[in-house]
C-alpha cells in the first residue's frame, strides 16, 4: 500500500450514475475520506434487506422502493446455515437464491455490500452458523482454531467463487463494491484472549487473498488489520473515528433504524426525527458511507429466529415495513435527508470537515469548503432547549436535537426535526377464515385435526441414564425433545397416603417446557429473552401402580450473540425431583433411565396437509394441547399484503401450502409498563425508549406472502402446543387508514424545490404535500384540515383557538380526486386568523 490510498483494480458498470449493461475499466479505491469509485470519491447511502426474510416475488419492489428512497447500496448478510444445512449439501433455491437477489439489485442500478461473515448475528438462529459445526471434533468457533478456520474459509470461498462465476463483483462489471468478513467480533473478542487477534489477522488475510477486487470491511473491529476497513455499528456513530484515520474512511455499517421484537416484549420504535438526526450528524462529522440496519426488516419464516425468544416479525421499525409497504413519515423524511446530503456531496468529498464556533453549549457548526464550493451543517444536540445561532452573518433557529443542512452555506434545505413528508396510519381489515372456505363446508367439515401423542410415539426413541442437554441431542432438527419416565408407586406409602401434596420440581436451561402426568397436562414454564432458564414446581397426583412423567422441552430459536454463544445449552438438565412427600422427603429422578424422542410424530408428514390421517367430525376439539389443525381457505381478494391474526390460539407453528410462516405465540404478553403515551425524540435513543403495545400480545399478526397463496383451495396447518380455538383466527389485509401531514410556517420548502429555486434566485415557502400510497388510488376525502394552531398527531388532530375558516375548503379543492396534491402553507393561501402568531397546517385525508 502506498500513501493513504489502497488501490484495487475493478470494472464497474454505470447507468444513471451507478450501473449499466456495458462495462469498462475503472477503479474502486478508498482513502481517508471516502470510497472512491472510478477515481471519484462518493457519498453513499445504503440499506439492509435480508433476502431470506422476504420472497423473490417481493425483491424487485423492495429494491425499487429503496432506490426511490435515495439509497445507493443494498446490504445483505449471507446466511450459512440457510444455504448449507448439511455439510457439503448446498441450497440456493427460492428465498435462498442469493445470486438472483444480487442481480435484481444490479438491474435496479444499485450497488451491493455483501456481508459474508459468515457469522452474522442478525437475530438469526445460531448466529447463522450451521449447527453441524458444533459436532466437528476439536472445533472452537470464532477463534484461532484450525477446524473452524478450515470450515469458515471453505464457505467464504464458496460464496466468493459463486459471485465470481456470475461476474457479480465490481471488478467483473457487477454490483458488489464491498464485502465483509467476520461481524462485531470486537464487541466480545477479549473473552477469547490472545487467540482473538491471531484469528482476526487470519480472517482478514484469508478474505483479501480471495481476490475479489473490492475492499473488505470488518465492523466493530478497531484493531482490524490495515488491509481491511474497520467500521462502526450503533444508534449513533458521529463520535466514532476509525483507527488509521489518515488511511480509512469513516463508515457506518449499521445504523439501527429501530430494534428487534422479542416474544414477551413490547414493540420497539425509533422516531424518525432521531434517526434523521443521527444520519446528519454522521455526515456532518466526516462520514461518507452510512447503512440502515434495517431498511426492510421482513419476516423470520420457519424456525429461522435466533435469540432465543426473537419474534417471527422482524419489522425493525424500518422505513419499508414487514409487508413491503412504505412506513411514513420515516421513509419520506429520510428520502429528503438523503437528497439534502447529496446536495452537499461535492463539498463533503472535496475536503475534511472544519468546525466553526457559533457560541453556546451543545451547538456545533461544521463547514466543508474548497474554492467556490461550500456546504454546512448546524447542529443543536441539546436534549431540551431550542437555540438561535448566528452563522456567516445570518440567524438560524435550531430545534433541540436537530441538524440543519445548508448546501450553499447560507440557505437551509432541511432540518432533521421538521418533517415535510406525510404520515400514514396503517390498519388491517379482517376476513373470517371460515367465510373464505367453500360455502358448502360447515364449521366441522372446514376444520380437521390430529392429536399429537403425549410422550414416546416414534420408532427412533432411545433411552439413556440421566438427563441430556437438548441441543446436543436434537442437533436442532426440531424445537421439541420428549423426556419420558415411568415410575411405579404401588408399594410406596409415601405417594399413596399423601399423593395430593406431591410437587414435581423441574429445572431447565430453557426455553420452555410442558409437564404431562399420566397423559394430562399438569403445568408449564417459559423463560424469556433476558433469562431463558425455567424452574417450575407443579402439583402432581399419582395413582397406585404405574405412572408416567412426560416432559416436553422446547427451544424458541438458538442463541445468536455473545462470546461462546455456541456453547449456550438448552433443555432439562435437572434436577427433576418429587417434593413434599410424606415426612418431607424428596426423591431425585434425575439419574433414572429416561426415554427420549426427538421431535413430534406429526412433524414429518403433517405440515403439508396431505396426510390421510386427518379427522373431520362435527365436534372440533378446542383448548386441547398438542393438537394439529387443518383448514382450507380462499385467499382474500385484492393484492394488499396478508396476515393471519392468531388471537384465540396459544403457541405453535403454522404452515400455508406447506410453507412455514413461523412460530406463533399470541398468549405471550408484553409487560404492562414501559410504554410512554408519547415518544419524545429528543435525546439519545436506546431500544427501551419508545416502546408501544404494552400489556398486549407481543405479536398477533403473522405475515403470509401473497406469492404463497393461490386464489382458492389453500391449506392452513397449525400445530397448537398449549391449547386454543382455531375457529377464532382470521385473515387480515394490510390497509392504509389515513394520510396525514403537519407543516409549519417555519418548515423549509421541500427539498425537491432546492435546485430550481437556487437557479432562479428565489426562496419558496413551506408546502404541505399528500400522496396516496398505491398508484390506483386518489384522495377521496379530507377528514381534518386546520390552519392556525392545530394540536395532536395523525388520527387525533384537533383545532386550536386560532384557526382559519377557509382551511377545509382550500384543502378539499386542492386534493380531493387527485392522487397527489400540494398546498402552500402561508397566509396567502388561508388568510391570517391570528396575526403575529406562528401558524401551521394539519391535514388528515383518506385514499381510495
Where residue 77 sits, what CATH number does that domain have? Answer: 3.20.20.80
Q: Are 730 and 808 in a shared domain?
A: no
> What does DSSP say about strands 23-30 and 35-37: parallel, antiparallel, or unpaired?
antiparallel
Pairing type for strands 627-633 and 423-432 reads: unpaired
The pLDDT, as a whole number, for residue 763 is 74
- pLDDT (average), residues 245-259: 97
Give the rounded distance of the alpha carbon of 475 from its chain centre: 26
Same domain, residue pair 591 and 614:
no
* Contact call for residues 316 and 259 (beta carbons, < 8 A): yes
Residue 348 lies in a domain: no
pLDDT score at 756: 61
What would the mean pLDDT of 692-705 be, rounded to a whole number? 98
Please provide the distance, in angstroms rounded to a whole number, between the alpha carbons at the two ends of the chain.
60
Measured CA to CA, the distance from residue 287 to residue 377 in angstroms comes to: 13
User: Span 387-392, mean pLDDT?
Assistant: 96
User: Is pLDDT of 737 > 90?
Assistant: no
Neighbours of 443 (CB within 10 A): 13
| Among 692, 708, 700, residue whose Cα is nearest residue 655 | 708
Burial class of residue 715, CB neighbours in 10 A (0-12, 13-18, 19+): middle
**Which one from 84, 151, 182, 254 is the annotated catalytic residue?**
254
Could you list the beta-strand ranges (E) of 750-839.
Answer: 767-771, 779-788, 820-824
Does 291 reside within a domain?
Answer: no
pTM comes to 0.95
Give Cβ neighbours of residue 726 (< 8 Å, ≥ 6 apart): 447, 620, 622, 629, 631, 648, 649, 718, 720
Q: Locate all alpha helices (DSSP H) within 475-530, ordered by sequence.
A: 493-498
Q: What is the pLDDT of residue 444?
A: 36
State the cell numbers at 211. 481476490
pLDDT digits (tens, 9 = 90+) for 27-63: 889 999 999 999 999 999 999 999 999 999 999 999 9
Characterize 772-802 residue by residue with b for buried, 16 or more Cβ atoms within 10 angstroms of its Cβ, and e for exposed.
bbeeeeebeebebbbbbbbebebeebebbeb
Q: Return the number of other C-beta atoms located less than 10 Å from residue 657's C-beta.
A: 15
What's the grid cell of residue 802? 386560532
Residues 206 and 175 in one domain: yes
Instruction: Region of 578 please: left (phi>0), alpha (psi -120 to 50) or beta.
Output: beta
Q: Could you give the C-alpha distances from 535 to 511, 540, 642, in angstroms and in order?
A: 10, 16, 38
Neighbours of 190 (CB within 10 A): 9
Strand pairing category for 373-380 and 363-370: antiparallel
The DSSP bridge pattern shows strands 44-49 and 73-77 to be: parallel
pLDDT digits (tens, 9 = 90+) for 552-598: 999 999 999 999 999 999 999 999 999 987 777 899 999 999 999 99
Domain end residue (candidates: 595, 612, 644): 595
pLDDT of residue 446: 86
Same domain, 729 and 817: no
Over 60: is that where the pLDDT of 24 sits? no
One domain, residues 561 and 478: yes
- My answer on whether 466 and 563 are in the same domain is yes
Q: Among 195, 218, 194, which Cα is nearest to 206's?
A: 218
Looking at the structure of the chain, the number of domains it has is 4
- Same domain for 561 and 621, yes or no, is no
Q: Which residues contact 86 (CB under 8 A, 6 or more apart)?
A: 130, 132
Domain enclosing residue 798, as ranges: 763-847
- Please say if the pLDDT value at position 19 is more than 50: no
Cell numbers at 339, concatenated: 437528497
- DSSP notation for 641-691: -EEEE-TT--SEEEEETTEEEEEE-TT-BPPSS---SS----S---TTTT-
Sorting pLDDT into bands at 50, 70 and 90, what band is 135? very high
Domain boundary among 234, 263, 297: 234
Residue 728 resides in a domain: yes
- Per-residue cell: 708: 404463497
Total residues belonging to the chain: 848
CATH label of the domain that carries residue 710 = 2.60.120
The domain boundary, picked from 574, 595, 616, lies at 595
Sheet of 6-13, strands arranged across: 6-13, 23-30, 35-37, 40-42
Using pLDDT thresholds of 50, 70 and 90, give the confidence band for residue 21. very low
547 in a domain, yes or no? yes
Map residue 723 onto helix, strand or coil: coil
Other CB atoms within 10 Å distance of the CB of residue 616: 13
Exposed/middle/buried for 100, CB within 10 Å: 0-12, 13-18, 19+?
Answer: middle
DSSP state of 744: E
And the C-alpha cell for 228? 481491511
> CB-based contacts of 36: which residues, under 8 Å, 6+ apart?
5, 27, 28, 29, 30, 42
Q: Other CB atoms closer than 10 Å to residue 586's CB: what's the count? A: 12
φ/ψ of 295, rounded to 5, equals -95, -35
- Chain centroid to Cα 217, Å, comes to 22
Cα 521 to Cα 722: distance, rounded to the nearest angstrom: 9
Q: Is pLDDT above 60 for 98?
A: yes
The closest alpha carbon to 299, from 643, 633, 691, 669, belongs to 643
In the annotation, is 184 catalytic? yes
- Please indicate, yes or no, whether residues 495 and 608 belong to a single structural domain of this protein: no
| Residue 771 resides in a domain | yes
Same domain, yes or no: 800 and 701? no
Mean pLDDT, to the nearest integer, of 109-122?
98
**How far from 693 is each of 123, 265, 315, 559, 578, CA to CA, in Å?**
21, 9, 14, 25, 40
Which CATH number do you get for residue 839?
A: 2.60.120.740
Report pLDDT digits (tens) over 433-486.
Answer: 865 444 333 333 489 999 999 999 999 999 999 999 999 999 999 999 999 999
Instruction: Read off the C-alpha cell for 358.
Output: 457559533
> Quick one: pLDDT at residue 434?
65
Q: What is the mean pLDDT of residues 299-308?
A: 98
Residue 755 DSSP label = H
Q: Of 560, 555, 580, which is closest to residue 479 (Cα–Cα)?
A: 555
From 75, 123, 151, 184, active-site residue: 184
Is 14 inside any structural domain?
no
3-class SS of residue 498: helix
Same domain, yes or no: 584 and 677: no
Which phi and psi angles does 214 have, rounded to 5°? -130, 160
* Residue 598 backbone phi and psi in degrees, to 5: -85, 120
Nearest to 414 by CA among 388, 382, 375, 387: 375
Residues 656 and 547 in one domain: no
| 302: confidence class by pLDDT, cuts 50, 70, 90 | very high
Based on the fold, state whether residues 472 and 582 are members of the same structural domain.
yes
5 among known catalytic residues: no
Q: Are 738 and 808 in contact (CB under 8 A)?
A: no
Quick: pLDDT tens for 364-380: 999 999 999 999 999 99
| Paired strand residues for 701 | 645
Q: Which residues contact 61 (CB under 8 A, 6 or more apart)?
A: 324
Tell me if 282 is assigned to some domain: no
Per residue in 479-528, pLDDT (tens digit) is: 999 999 999 986 555 554 544 579 999 999 999 999 999 999 999 999 99
Q: How confident is the model at residue 432 (pLDDT cuts 50, 70, 90)?
A: confident
Alpha-carbon gap, residue 728 to 432, rounded angstroms? 9
Helix (H, G, I), strand (E, B), or coil: what is residue 704? strand
Share of the chain above pLDDT 90, in %: 89
The average pLDDT across 203-213 equals 97
* Confidence label for 757 from pLDDT (cuts 50, 70 and 90): low
Judge whether 75 and 179 are in contact, CB under 8 Å: no
In this structure, is residue 359 part of a structural domain? no
Instruction: Identify any residues that bridge with 291 across adjacent strands, giving them in sequence order.
Output: 46
CATH number of the CATH domain containing 526: 2.60.120.260
Question: Cis omega before residue 575 (within 30°)?
Answer: yes
Amino acid at each position: 500500500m502506498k500513501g493513504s490510498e489502497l488501490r484495487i483494480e475493478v470494472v464497474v458498470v454505470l447507468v444513471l450514475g451507478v450501473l449499466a449493461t456495458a462495462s469498462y475499466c475503472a477503479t474502486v479505491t478508498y482513502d481517508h475520506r471516502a470510497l472512491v469509485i472510478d477515481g471519484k470519491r462518493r457519498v453513499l447511502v445504503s440499506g439492509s434487506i435480508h433476502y431470506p426474510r422476504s420472497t423473490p416475488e417481493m425483491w424487485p419492489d423492495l429494491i425499487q422502493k429503496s432506490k426511490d428512497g435515495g439509497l445507493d447500496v443494498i446490504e445483505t448478510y449471507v446466511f450459512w446455515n440457510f444455504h448449507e444445512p448439511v455439510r457439503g449439501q448446498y441450497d440456493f433455491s427460492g428465498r435462498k437464491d442469493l445470486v438472483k437477489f444480487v442481480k435484481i439489485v444490479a438491474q435496479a442500478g444499485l450497488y451491493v455490500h455483501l456481508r459474508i461473515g459468515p457469522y452474522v448475528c442478525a437475530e438469526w438462529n445460531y448466529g447463522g452458523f450451521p449447527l453441524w459445526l458444533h459436532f466437528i471434533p476439536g472445533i472452537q468457533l470464532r477463534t484461532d482454531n484450525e477446524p473452524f478456520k478450515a470450515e469458515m474459509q471453505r464457505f467464504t470461498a464458496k460464496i466468493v467463487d459463486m459471485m465470481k462465476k456470475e461476474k457479480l463483483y465490481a471488478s467483473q462489471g457487477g454490483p458488489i463494491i464491498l464485502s465483509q468478513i467476520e461481524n462485531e467480533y470486537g464487541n466480545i473478542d477479549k473473552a477469547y484472549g490472545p487467540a482473538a487477534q491471531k484469528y482476526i489477522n487470519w480472517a482478514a488475510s484469508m478474505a483479501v487473498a480471495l481476490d475479489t477486487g473490492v475492499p473488505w470491511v470488518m465492523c466493530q473491529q478497531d484493531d482490524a488489520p490495515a488491509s481491511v476497513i474497520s467500521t462502526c455499528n450503533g444508534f449513533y456513530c458521529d463520535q466514532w473515528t476509525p483507527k488509521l484515520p489518515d488511511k480509512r474512511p469513516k463508515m457506518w455499517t449499521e445504523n439501527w433504524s429501530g430494534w428487534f421484537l422479542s416474544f414477551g416484549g413490547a414493540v420497539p420504535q425509533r422516531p424518525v426525527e432521531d434517526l434523521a438526526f443521527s444520519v446528519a450528524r454522521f455526515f456532518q462529522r466526516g462520514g461518507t458511507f452510512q447503512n440502515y440496519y434495517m431498511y426492510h426488516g421482513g419476516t423470520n419464516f420457519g424456525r429461522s429466529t435466533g435469540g432465543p425468544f426473537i419474534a417471527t416479525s422482524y419489522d425493525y421499525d424500518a422505513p419499508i415495513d414487514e409487508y413491503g409497504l412504505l412506513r411514513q413519515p420515516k421513509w419520506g423524511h429520510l428520502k429528503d435527508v438523503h437528497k439534502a446530503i447529496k446536495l452537499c456531496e461535492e463539498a463533503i468529498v472535496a475536503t475534511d470537515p472544519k468546525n466553526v464556533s457559533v457560541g453556546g453549549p451543545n451547538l456545533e457548526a461544521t463547514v466543508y469548503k474548497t474554492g467556490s464550493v461550500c456546504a454546512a451543517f448546524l447542529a443543536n444536540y441539546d436534549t431540551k432547549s431550542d437555540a438561535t445561532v448566528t452563522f456567516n452573518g445570518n440567524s438560524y433557529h435550531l430545534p433541540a436535537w436537530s441538524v440543519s443542512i445548508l448546501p450553499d452555506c447560507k440557505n437551509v434545505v432541511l432540518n432533521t426535526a421538521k418533517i415535510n413528508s406525510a404520515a400514514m396510519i396503517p390498519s388491517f381489515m379482517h376476513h373470517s377464515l371460515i367465510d373464505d372456505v367453500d360455502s358448502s363446508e360447515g364449521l366441522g367439515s372446514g376444520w380437521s385435526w390430529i392429536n399429537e401423542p403425549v410422550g414416546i410415539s416414534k420408532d427412533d426413541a432411545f433411552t439413556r441414564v440421566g438427563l441430556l442437554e437438548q441441543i446436543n441431542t436434537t442437533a436442532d432438527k426440531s424445537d421439541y425433545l420428549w423426556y419420558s419416565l415411568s415410575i411405579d408407586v404401588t408399594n410406596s406409602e409415601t405417594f399413596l397416603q399423601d399423593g395430593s401434596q406431591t410437587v414435581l420440581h423441574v429445572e431447565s436451561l430453557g426455553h420452555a417446557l410442558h409437564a404431562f402426568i399420566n397423559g394430562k397436562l399438569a403445568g408449564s414454564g417459559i423463560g424469556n429473552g433476558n433469562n431463558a432458564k425455567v424452574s417450575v414446581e407443579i402439583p402432581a397426583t399419582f395413582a397406585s401402580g404405574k405412572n408416567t412423567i412426560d416432559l416436553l422441552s422446547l427451544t424458541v430459536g438458538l442463541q445468536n450473540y455473545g462470546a461462546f454463544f455456541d456453547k449456550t445449552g438448552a433443555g432439562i438438565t435437572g434436577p427433576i425431583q418429587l417434593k413434599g412427600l410424606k415426612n418431607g422427603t424428596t426423591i431425585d429422578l434425575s439419574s433414572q433411565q429416561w426415554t427420549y424422542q426427538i421431535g413430534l410424530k406429526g412433524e414429518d408428514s403433517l405440515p403439508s396437509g396431505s396426510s390421510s390421517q386427518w379427522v373431520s367430525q362435527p365436534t372440533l376439539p378446542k383448548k386441547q394441547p398438542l393438537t394439529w389443525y387443518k383448514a382450507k381457505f380462499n385467499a382474500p381478494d385484492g393484492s394488499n399484503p396478508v396476515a393471519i391474526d392468531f388471537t384465540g390460539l396459544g403457541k405453535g407453528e403454522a404452515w400455508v401450502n406447506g410453507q412455514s410462516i413461523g412460530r406463533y405465540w399470541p398468549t405471550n404478553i408484553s409487560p404492562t409498563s414501559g410504554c410512554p403515551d408519547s415518544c419524545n425524540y429528543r435525546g439519545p435513543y436506546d431500544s427501551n425508549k419508545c416502546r408501544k403495545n404494552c400489556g398486549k400480545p407481543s405479536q398477533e399478526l403473522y405475515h403470509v406472502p401473497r406469492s404463497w397463496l393461490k386464489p382458492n383451495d389453500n391449506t392452513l396447518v397449525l400445530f397448537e402446543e398449549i391449547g386454543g380455538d382455531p375457529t377464532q383466527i382470521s385473515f387480515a389485509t394490510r390497509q392504509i387508514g389515513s394520510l396525514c401531514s403537519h407543516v409549519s410556517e417555519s418548515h423549509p420548502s421541500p427539498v425537491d424545490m432546492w435546485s430550481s429555486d437556487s437557479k432562479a434566485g428565489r426562496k419558496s415557502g413551506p408546502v404541505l404535500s399528500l400522496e396516496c400510497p398505491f398508484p390506483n388510488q386518489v384522495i377521496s376525502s379530507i377528514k381534518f384540515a386546520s390552519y392556525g394552531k392545530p394540536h395532536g398527531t395523525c388520527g387525533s388532530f384537533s383545532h386550536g383557538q386560532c384557526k382559519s375558516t377557509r382551511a377545509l375548503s382550500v384543502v378539499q379543492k386542492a386534493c380531493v380526486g387527485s392522487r397527489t396534491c400540494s398546498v402552500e402553507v402561508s397566509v396567502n393561501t388561508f388568510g391570517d386568523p391570528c396575526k403575529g402568531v406562528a401558524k401551521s397546517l394539519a391535514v388528515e385525508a383518506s385514499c381510495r
